[in-house]
Structure 1
Amino acid sequence: MEMLQLLVSLGVGLATALAVCAGLVVRFKSPRPRRREESENYYLCIDEKHEQQRLGDLQSKATVDLSIVVPAYNEEERLPVLLDDVRDYVAERRQREPRFSFELIIMDDGSRDKTLDVAMEYARKHGIRELKAVRHVVNRGKGGAVTQGIMSAQGRFIMFCDADGATKFSDIDALLERAQAAARDGLAIAIGSRNNQALSGTVVERSHIRAFLQWGFHTYVTILGVRGVRDTQCGFKLFSREAARRIFYNMHVERFIFDIEILLLARYQGIPLVEVPVNWHEVAGSKMSIVRDSIQMALDLLAVRLNYMLGNWKIADRSKPQ
């Protein structure tokens, strides 16, 4: 009897401790996105004498075939590589489809270097009128930059990709093909994967430490209930316009863990999602701190999962244009 009472007491104590820890995580680690500053409602381009023009709205009807959103923080050195890749892709795509239209939204996330100047100079040099450059007053984080860019996108399909050019941009065709095949009621998401290369023949080059961290993070994500996706963090994801509306008006996370919230929102709303192998190589200059950001991501993910489980975060229906 005494042993049973001891076990019950230990169980109650453990449950209480876990509840307190969960409460602290939700209270102090839940993200709180800031509102847009007025200046962040405008973009720069090479039309209209470089004057600022007002951003579009995801709730409106599409006006171009593809929106490409690029979150960029201190990327003056790596950004031109991606821009070259995008420009080559557009030239080749227009040989196949002369009427192909796009927009390229560079989200300068409060950079301290010349990222914005580099983007605008590239647009002027190559005559890219479709390039739109937005500058955040202060750094939001990659997730915040992606969310703000996509909420302003005008494409029938909308994608985001990392500014470092680590993924071969022409792989977007495979994502588009798979998304269109999987679409249901205008809803589809296709995400790049760096973990399917053995089956597909794609090439992935990463360091051993990065591979180990990828494995550890995937295990942690699986434990917390996000299953069925081999590579949650690849910065190469594509959305139908309707899927983007249902996802990004409900986003909370503005840092690295935002990819997980995208997947959770897709699952909760039954949005078709396909994982597509892509060619990827590790590029020097990552902004992540392996130790600090790994701990931060683990706590953020726990907070996200708890907020949805406890019903603190509701999923609003913003699927129809206003």
Structure 2
Amino acid sequence: MIYSWGLASASADSNLQLLLSSALSLSLLVLIAALTVAAFFLEYIRRVGCSHSIERSAASDSFFEDPSSLNKVPCPSIFDPADKYLSLIIPAYNEEDRLPSTLDETLNYLQQRSAAEKSFSYEVLIVDDGSRDHTSRVAFDYVRKYKIDNVRVLLLGRNHGKGEAIRKGMLHSRGNLLLMLDADGATKLTDLEKLESQIQMFAENVKKAESTPDSCPRLSDIEIAVFGSRSHLEKKALATRKWYRNLMMKGFHLLVLLTAGPGICDTQCGFKMFTRSAARKLFTNMRLKRWCFDVELVYLCKHLRIPMVEVAVNWTEIPGSKVRLMSIVHMLFELVLIRVGYGLGIWKIHL
């Protein structure tokens, strides 16, 4: 009996040791896997930062093509002095159907204003983000009609993402004021006057506070960003959308708050205006290329001490949204990139 109990006890100890050994081995494997994933993730963030640094210091070889003369027009730089009052940057990916109505409304407004205000000059910059349809053909038709000094098309060759398309457009624009707007025309273009008035008001206050009779800052040198907002429409949207979409929206807003902090209620509205000086700082630092570049802009504004103003705009939901389930996953991934990239100092912010 005693002998049998001893055998059972030894067997139990052996099983326990085997279980502990297996648990330890499994823990080590999990730890190694976690460290490997973390290493690859940090290396990915580092490479994004390195490619961004190389691009900041490299000369641009981009150009605009004039379909009328077939000449190549060198791209201007955001570091050049402004020679237009307003630049409108429109990112476009497979937008052959929605782009014409947006461009018609946009150019009608700009031409009427240009005729009424002699000091008003403009350019519309359409950035074709590697479209697979006839977006570029549609855009070039407007270049022929309105001439390349007023309408330009920048071809990116392959799809990079909305953020990258806007960044490229901003870096190659000529305006004192730079407005980004979506190709679907969801926001009424006349609302740009609301954003513009906020910048003008801020500029007047800066001039009164800082200028002397011999030195008056130019509009392009004053730093401010104005964000169009749909937050005043949120109650109506909550009532019409399905519960799970509202839940995802609330969850996303919470993550944005944790990432970029408070200050802007609607970071994702595609209607934003910047002075040239503010755009120069923001878009030469911006790294995200797709969905959450708007959140990164808010983050950069705070760390570069660029004042932000949020203005309510009219907005209509247009069919044809490109947001999918994987888009949401990518958004979450990019929010993590912002926190880790800037939080650990892997991504440097250049003043």
Interval of TM-score (by shorter of Structure 1 and Structure 2): 0.7 to 0.9
Give 3-state SS (helix, strand or coil) of 2:263's partner. coil
My pick for the range that moved more, 280-289 or 53-62, is 280-289
Cα offset, 1:224, TM superposition: 2.7
Give 3-state SS (helix, strand or coil) of 1:162's partner. coil
Q: TM-score, normalised by structure 2?
A: 0.76
Q: TM-score, normalised by structure 1?
A: 0.83
Give 3-state SS (helix, strand or coil) of 2:108's partner. helix
Aligned equivalent of 1:134: 154
Instruction: Check the 8 A contact 1:42/1:53 in 2, yes or no.
Output: yes
Instruction: Check the 8 A contact 2:230/2:315 in 1, yes or no.
Output: yes
Residue-by-residue CA offset, 1:43-62 (whole Å, 9 max, x unaligned)? 12456x14221110000100
The 2-side partners of 1:121 and 1:149 are apart by 19
The 1-side partners of 2:59 and 2:301 are apart by 30
Residues 81-92 of structure 1: matches in 2 within 5 Å? 81-92=101-112
Amino acid at match of 2:96: E
Aligned equivalent of 1:242: 277
Residues 63-212 of structure 1: matches in 2 within 5 Å? 63-125=83-145, 129-183=149-203, 184=206, 186-197=222-233, 207-208=241-242, 211-212=246-247
Cα offset, 1:272, TM superposition: 0.8
Count of residue correspondences: 298
Give 3-state SS (helix, strand or coil) of 1:224's partner. helix
Cα offset, 1:281, TM superposition: 1.1
Structure 2: segments with no counterpart, 5+ residues: 1-30, 207-220
Residue-by-residue CA offset, 1:195-241 (whole Å, 9 max, x unaligned)? 12489xx9999744655543321111112342121100011110000
Give 3-state SS (helix, strand or coil) of 2:91's partner. strand
Aligned equivalent of 2:314: 279
The structure-2 alpha-carbon separation of the partners of 1:204 and 1:281, relative to structure 1 and needing over 3 Å to count, comes to farther
Give 3-state SS (helix, strand or coil) of 2:277's partner. helix
Instruction: Check the 8 A contact 1:109/1:141 in 2, yes or no.
Output: yes
Cα offset, 1:126, TM superposition: 5.2
Structure 1: segments with no counterpart, 5+ residues: 1-15, 318-322
In our comparison, the structure showing a higher alpha carbon Rg is 2
Bigger relative contact order (CA 8 A; separation at least 6): 1
Cα offset, 1:156, TM superposition: 0.3
Residue number among 291, 298, 306 corresponding to 2:332 in the alignment = 298
Aligned Cα RMSD in Å?
3.1
Give 3-state SS (helix, strand or coil) of 1:288's partner. coil
Higher helix share: 2
